[in-house]
Amino acid sequence: MRRKIILDLDTGIDDALALAYALGSPELEIIGVTGTYGNVAVDTGVRNALAILELFGRTDVPVHAGLPCARECDSFEVLEISEFIHGANGIGGAQLPEPTTAAAEGDAVEFLVESVRKYGDELVIVPTGPSTTIAAAIEADSSFAENARIIMMGGALTVPGNVRPWAEANVHQDPEATDLLFRRARDVTMVGLDVTLQTLLTTRETAVWRSLGTRGGTFLADAADHYIRAYETTSPHLGGCGLHDPLAVAVAVDPGLVEFLHLNLKVDTHGETRGRTIADETRLNDPVKTARVAALVDVERFLAEFMGRLTALAEKTPAA
Ligand code: BDR
Ligand code: CA
């Protein structure tokens, strides 16, 4: 049986690659996408998700708009670093036609709560942006925290942050929301910078997509090349761009790609470590661990899966 999945995306270049990974995975049945702010404003993220679904022939997948800003804010502005990394349109300046479909009716929180009620543990939710919408779903319905299976990209346990010395970008956007998620949700998998900064894409791989001569291949190559160039400036020591969000989807398909530490997590919400993801000292000896943190990754196998799935998907799109 195919595993049902909802992606909560701030689309975003690596979110786009994550969506493509899900679309290219026969093991998954995509129930829907929810759109959050983060790399871009929520409207731009929703538009990008719709345009990418249309590119790959999947206008049947509903996209629901989520919350527009963090819990303790009343507005959102794209950070300079996000715009530098993802481009003003969020997909590295890559051009996609305006989607012919619109966002689905009904907000994302309602959609998430109802889907967990309907599908229980047959469903996995993969958030790859700030945790605001997921936290709102936890607050909206007590059974959501109990039953939702969440595999999130975000946080950094054993390595420094990427936007602050302590904080990873998704958690940094809304530390209170991720803290609530860690404290209340019963089944959380954290795929953070510990592993995602080991899974790197280079122009050698994007050249494969470009050589396909298809619309899908050209889009993936244009967007990822922008991302790789940005990483050459921000993190030249890496030698490629981090495949953060696709790794979370890959773990939803095959948890065997990573090895876990079992912990109860929290997020620091005050002081200079605001945004840090760390074990909750008050639940250290609790025999029940609600989170598993990916600490090791089989880089070679993941990259082979990633390239195989996205290349096959892009091959099927019309000529550029
Ligand atoms: C995360 O932050 C965003 O910029 C990326 O899309 C990814 O989800 C990496 O820290
Ligand atoms: Ca993201």
Over residues 195-241, the pLDDT tens digits come to: 999 999 999 999 999 999 999 999 999 999 999 999 999 999 999 99
Of these residues, 10, 15, 179, 222, which one is catalytic?
10
Q: Under DSSP, is residue 295 helix (H, G, I), strand (E, B) or coil?
A: strand
Q: What is the mean pLDDT of the chain?
A: 98
For a ligand 1 pocket test, name from 170, 172, 200, 241 the mutation site with the most ligand atoms within 8 angstroms of its C-beta: 170
* 161-172 mean pLDDT: 97
Residue 286 annotated as catalytic? no
Query: 75: CA distance to ligand 1 center in Å?
Result: 20
HSE-up of 52 (CA within 13 Å, CB side)? 33
Contact 102, 128 (CB under 8 A): no
pLDDT for 65: 98
- Indicate whether residue 15 lines ligand 1 (CB < 6 A): yes
pLDDT for 1: 86
Tokens matching residue 300 = 């070679």
Per-residue pLDDT of 1-51, as tens digits, reads 899 999 999 999 999 999 999 999 999 999 999 999 999 999 999 999 999
pLDDT for 189: 98
How big, in percent rounded to 5, are the helix, strand and coil portions of the chain? 45, 20, 35
User: Which pTM was predicted?
Assistant: 0.98
Would the pLDDT of 291 be above 90? yes
The topology (CATH level 3) of 3-315 is Inosine-uridine Nucleoside N-ribohydrolase; Chain A (3.90.245)
Query: 287: CA distance to ligand 2 center in Å?
Result: 32
Residue 10 annotated as catalytic? yes
Contact 209, 312 (CB under 8 A): no
Contact 59, 100 (CB under 8 A): yes
Residue type, 233: T
The three-point CA angle 45-16-85 to 5° equals 75
Per-residue DSSP letter, 237: T
Per-residue pLDDT of 64-110, as tens digits, reads 999 999 999 999 999 999 999 999 999 999 999 999 999 999 999 99
Q: Which residues pair with 126 in a beta bridge?
A: 7
What is the C-alpha separation between 42 and 34, in angstroms, rounded? 10
